[in-house]
Amino acid sequence: MRSLRYIFPLLLLAGAAFWYWRNDAPLIKTTVVRREAAIDAVPAVVNVRPEFQLTLASTVAGRVLTSALKPGLAVEKDDLLFELDPRLYQLELDRLTGQLANLSSQYALDFEQTSTLARQQEDLANFERLLKEGNYPELELRRRREEFRILSEKQEKDRLARRQQIAEIEFSIEQQKRFIKECTVRAPAAGTVTDIFFHPGELVAIGASLVTFYSRSLLVEARINEEDFSGIRAGLEASVRFLAYGGEQYSAKVRNVLPNADEKTQQYRAYLDVEIDAARLLPGLSGEASIIRNRRADTLVVPRAAVYQAAVFVIDGGKVRRIPVETGFRGSNAVEITGTGLTAGQQVALSNVESLRDGQRVRPER
């Protein structure tokens, strides 16, 4: 009994020591230093949006006769969207057409001015002949010449005024024809209807918005922070992940890059061509992209999570050894090690690196 009394405290001490050892040696995830290609990649925020949003406004006034539009309806280029009542414009067109025909007939039959000018011209030629023969006073001839000049100018002004009047009527006729044509509103491009502002029977004013629709063609827009924008150009490879599709990665290429930053966010914009089924590329999708600016083959690489404050923790004999490192290219998941101190195949800590101490015991996960 006396021996048991000493054994029990010893067991307690041993348990406490084991507990302390277990807590002093945390369980950590590890990885190995690999020799492979390093990637210089920059992150970007991705959004999928229609190439354009278009709101059609009416260029004429009238009552809506027909419209079969519904929200979500897909329309093709030149599909009929609205038909407005053209009768008022047709009535005005008929009136103007009749007026033009009447004026043209009147001017064609108006010989009085032409004949008057011709008679005066003949008389003037006769007076000129008489003056040369000495049978007509020069002062009277000058007066006759001035009368002929005034009449000629007056008739020329009348002809110009008639031409202007006819031109104005012809312009009004073409305008009414255009109004009649614009009473039929067609889709300028393929798209999907989102908002409808008028329905059959309602009156539309000039300039009123009729319908809004999104283009069927989509843009995958990548927004890049200013500090990462250097070197981004068309043709670069990228990988894209959409939040709606979990961890699926899609290959992509930079189609073009806008040279100016967004005024609100100060981010630069690039547009990507993504290798994805067109049926899965939907307006409103968001996600992230990694745009690859450069590659370097056969170099040391570790996961980005393994580097903490310019150092990694190498596992050596159940303990960690802190080794400062120099880094090069940074990808979305990995970083290049450019300095000395690490070799391929070494085991390094991947978790809890912010709390590890040089020389601390650890328990790598199996």
Please report the DSSP string for 96-131 in residue order.
Answer: HHHHHHHHHHHHHH--HHHHHHHHHHHHHHHHHHHH
Q: Taking 70 as the threshold, does the pLDDT of residue 3 lie above it?
A: no
Kindly report the backbone phi and psi dihedral angles of residue 168, in degrees, each rounded to the nearest multiple of 5, phi listed first.
-65, -40
- What sign does the CA torsion over 39, 40, 45, 48 have? negative
- Residue 6's pLDDT is 52
Cβ–Cβ < 8 Å for 334, 33: no
Mean pLDDT, range 348-363, rounded to an integer: 90
Cβ–Cβ < 8 Å for 207, 56: no
Mean pLDDT, range 159-164, rounded to an integer: 84
- Of the segments 123-132, 194-203, 259-268, which one has the largest average pLDDT value? 194-203
Summarised one tens digit per residue, pLDDT across range 43-97 is: 999 999 999 889 999 999 999 999 989 998 999 999 999 999 999 999 999 999 9
- Residue 153's pLDDT is 77
- Residue 20's pLDDT is 46
- SS3 of 300-333: the string is EEEEHHHCCCCEEEEEECCEEEEEECCEEEECCC
Q: Taking 90 as the threshold, does the pLDDT of residue 216 lie above it?
A: no
Mean pLDDT, range 151-170, rounded to an integer: 84
**297: closest CA among 32, 30, 34?**
34
For residue 10, name the pLDDT band (cuts at 50, 70, 90). low
Indicate the Cα dihedral angle 10, 16, 18, 20, nearest 10°.
-150
Least reliable range by pLDDT among 32-36, 54-58, 331-335: 331-335
Mean pLDDT, range 269-274, rounded to an integer: 96
Mean pLDDT, range 263-274, rounded to an integer: 93
**Rounded to whole angstroms, what are the CA distances from 193 to 64, 184, 270?**
18, 17, 27
Percent of the chain with pLDDT over 70: 90
- Name, in order, each residue with C-beta under 8 angstroms of 36's C-beta and a sequence gap of 6 or more: 298, 299, 301
- Residue 147's pLDDT is 80
If residue 31 lies in a helix (H) or strand (E), which one and from where to where?
Answer: strand 30-32
Q: Taking 90 as the threshold, does the pLDDT of residue 222 lie above it?
A: yes
Which tokens belong to 346? Answer: 């070494």
pTM, to two decimals:
0.59
The sheet carrying 203-204 orders its strands as: 184-186, 80-84, 62-66, 203-204
Which tokens belong to 64? Answer: 């809506």
- Residue 112's pLDDT is 55
- Residue 252's pLDDT is 96
Kindly report the backbone phi and psi dihedral angles of residue 255, in degrees, each rounded to the nearest multiple of 5, phi listed first.
-80, -50
- Residue 21's pLDDT is 47
Q: Taking 60 as the threshold, does the pLDDT of residue 307 lie above it?
A: yes
For residue 17, name the pLDDT band (cuts at 50, 70, 90). very low
Mean pLDDT, range 154-181, rounded to an integer: 90
Give, as one character, the DSSP assignment of residue 280.
G
**219: closest CA among 262, 282, 266, 289?**
282
- Residue 90's pLDDT is 96
**106: closest CA among 150, 169, 154?**
169
Question: What three-state secondary structure class fits 267?
Answer: coil
For residue 247, name the pLDDT band (cuts at 50, 70, 90). confident
Q: Please, what is the average pLDDT of the chain?
A: 86
**46: closest CA among 209, 263, 266, 221?**
221
Least reliable range by pLDDT among 10-14, 247-251, 302-306, 331-335: 10-14
Q: Taking 80 as the threshold, does the pLDDT of residue 332 lie above it?
A: no
Residue with tokens 């008057």: 116
Question: What three-state secondary structure class fits 337?
Answer: strand
Q: Taking 80 as the threshold, does the pLDDT of residue 15 lie above it?
A: no
- Residue 75's pLDDT is 92
Summarised one tens digit per residue, pLDDT across range 100-147 is: 998 888 776 565 556 666 777 777 687 778 778 777 788 787 887 788
Q: At what angle do helices 87-109 and 138-182 cross, to 10 degrees?
A: 160
216/362 Cα distance (integer angstroms)? 57
Cβ–Cβ < 8 Å for 34, 300: yes
